[in-house]
Amino acid sequence: MATTQEVLVPDIGTTDEVDVIDVMINPGDTITIDDSLITLESDKASMDVPSPIEGTVKSVAVKVGDKVKEGSLIIELEAQAEETKEDSVADVEKEEPAAVVEEQPTASTSATQEVLVPDIGTEEAVDVIEVSVKVGDDIVVDDALITLESDKASMDVPAPMAGTVKEVLVNVGDKVKTNAPIVLLATSAAPSAEKAPEKPASKEVPVTEKPTQPEPAVTTSAAAPDNGDVHAGPAVRRLARELGVDLHRVSGNGRKGRITLENVHQFVKAVMQQAGGGISGGLGLNLPKPPVIDFNKFGETTVEPLSKIKKISGANLQRNWITIPHVTQFDEADITDLEEFRKNNKALAEKQGFKLTPLVFIMKAVVATLKAFPTVNASLDASGENLILKNYYHIGVAVDTPNGLVVPVIRDVDQKSFMDLAKELGEVSLKARDKGLSLTDMQGASFTISSLGGISGIGFTPIVNMPEVAILGVSRSSMKPVYQNNEFVPRLMLPLSFSYDHRVIDGAQAARFTKHLGLMLSDLRRILL
């Protein structure tokens, strides 16, 4: 049977009137015990008023901006005489305070309360990963005391009452179980009944859960943002006020979308990362941090620091990969005749002390193609609005060294013979592997070639070497049946992978580029035309 009950403002620790800054319910809402009804704010603190009973809201007697005091009517509630509350997902999400042991209760003066770890849903000890309070802190109801982390989830333990922290009984790194003491609180009054449930549950927040990507919104004006109408508890509002966070910009992942302390912390962290670089390198991206994993849990490990080259080239590769919209065009070039020519002249090169590999022919064919497609031999200027076309043909060649990838530059490739190039390529590769390259040796390329042809593979997606706008990847050639003049003939085919900056080069242009390059490679005499 339904009965109508009035819910009044409880003892709020002052006889003064306080402001109603948030009303979370509407007539017709079905609420459960401890659902926040309104938020009150005095000069010193703000606090949520939770519902002591469950039922359906018949009428709401207050609105934002009203002033109320202890005993003021908040709502009329149609309550069910018989409780039929079922265990549901909402129960798991319910934000409940920690358990309390009253040490020296007095009627209305001061008392010391021991706050215990609530029922954390496991008998195992879990880690204390954060202690949010220190001795002397004045805390209000729902302020986070500590954060616990198990294998599956992390959870804040909120304060069940207001008071001053007399002693903190746990440290970061401790392991605690349900009912372990957390803090001793000096309180001015005994805890109110509605804030000391018999078997409290903790709110679980999945470890992987992140707020949705926020826009930068840390308020820089002197005035605090008006957070009155958002769904957040007093501790969260206080933190937001301190940090100047506009809570309208923060996504809440608490019960009914309520904003939690963690949501505010994550939001501020994301904004700071955007402003200061962080993992996204100042690119305005809110990328999640890579997980920190102790691999020793799974087996024996050895730590090997990355080489200096890997660290430097890694940062550049990451920037280029993220900032350049890449597309890779794959194609094949028939190099049967080229290979015959190369083999015929290989011994000549060897006599002079160097190797004549397909790469030098590819370099020459690339330069002839760049001349036909000048926008590929180019860079975007700093504004990103102009293309700088280069009238020189300096080709960067990716060289694999024991310490990592380096890209020495062979200058004026258009003005050098195949033999000159073969000799120079041999020399710079050696210099690169002996760590003998200077900074100048690696500057000024207008286009880069990365050849894995000496190793293996049928294609890959090379990363454009900024400020260039394209790069050619070359894989290992192989004999393939090619349909020519009504029959299949064996031809030596060279796989080409042409990655380009789509802001500068479009797909059709890329396809024409690789087609033209294929023509050059299939008959080197075309280079001279």
Per-residue DSSP letter, 524: G
Nearer to ligand CAO, 238 or 431 (CB): 431
The three-class DSSP label of residue 409 is strand
Q: Is 161:100 a contact under the CB 8 Å cutoff?
A: yes
Nearer to ligand CAO, 72 or 401 (CB): 401
Distance, CA of 31 to CA of 153 (rounded, Å): 26
We find the least distance from the C-beta atom of residue 444 to ligand CAO, in angstroms, to be 18
Give the burial class of 382: count Cβ atoms within 10 A of its Cβ; 0-12 exposed, 13-18 middle, 19 or more buried: exposed
> How distant is the alpha carbon of residue 341 from its chain centre?
52
We find the least distance from the C-beta atom of residue 477 to ligand CAO, in angstroms, to be 4
We find the least distance from the C-beta atom of residue 456 to ligand CAO, in angstroms, to be 9
We find the least distance from the C-beta atom of residue 501 to ligand CAO, in angstroms, to be 17
The three-class DSSP label of residue 491 is strand
Distance, CA of 468 to CA of 169 (rounded, Å): 59
Q: Is 100:119 a contact under the CB 8 Å cutoff?
A: no
| HEC per residue, 210-230 | CCCCCCCCECCCCCCCCCCCC
Distance, CA of 224 to CA of 295 (rounded, Å): 45
We find the least distance from the C-beta atom of residue 151 to ligand CAO, in angstroms, to be 37
The answer to whether the Cα torsion of 438, 441, 443, 449 is positive or negative is negative
Round to the nearest angstrom and report the end-to-end CA distance of the chain: 98
Q: Is 195:50 a contact under the CB 8 Å cutoff?
A: yes
We find the least distance from the C-beta atom of residue 422 to ligand CAO, in angstroms, to be 8
We find the least distance from the C-beta atom of residue 345 to ligand CAO, in angstroms, to be 12
Nearer to ligand CAO, 159 or 406 (CB): 406
Distance, CA of 60 to CA of 77 (rounded, Å): 9
Distance, CA of 399 to CA of 430 (rounded, Å): 9
Q: Is 428:464 a contact under the CB 8 Å cutoff?
A: no
Nearer to ligand CAO, 263 or 313 (CB): 313
Residue nearest ligand CAO (C-beta atom) = 453
515's torsion region: left (phi>0), alpha (psi -120 to 50) or beta? alpha
Residues that bind ligand CAO (CB under 6 A): 355, 357-359, 397-400, 405, 425, 429, 450-454, 462, 474, 476-477, 494
We find the least distance from the C-beta atom of residue 308 to ligand CAO, in angstroms, to be 17
Nearer to ligand CAO, 154 or 429 (CB): 429
Nearer to ligand CAO, 161 or 464 (CB): 464
Distance, CA of 507 to CA of 211 (rounded, Å): 37
Active site residues: 502
Joined together, the tokens standing for residue 3 give: 């009965």
Joined together, the tokens standing for residue 205 give: 């927040």
Distance, CA of 91 to CA of 84 (rounded, Å): 13
Which runs of consecutive H residues, i.e. helices, occur in 460-499? Answer: none
Nearer to ligand CAO, 444 or 454 (CB): 454
Nearer to ligand CAO, 159 or 338 (CB): 338
We find the least distance from the C-beta atom of residue 437 to ligand CAO, in angstroms, to be 12
The dihedrals phi and psi of 442, each to the nearest 5 degrees, come to -110, 10
Q: Is 165:182 a contact under the CB 8 Å cutoff?
A: no
Cβ count within 10 A of residue 257: 12
Distance, CA of 425 to CA of 359 (rounded, Å): 9
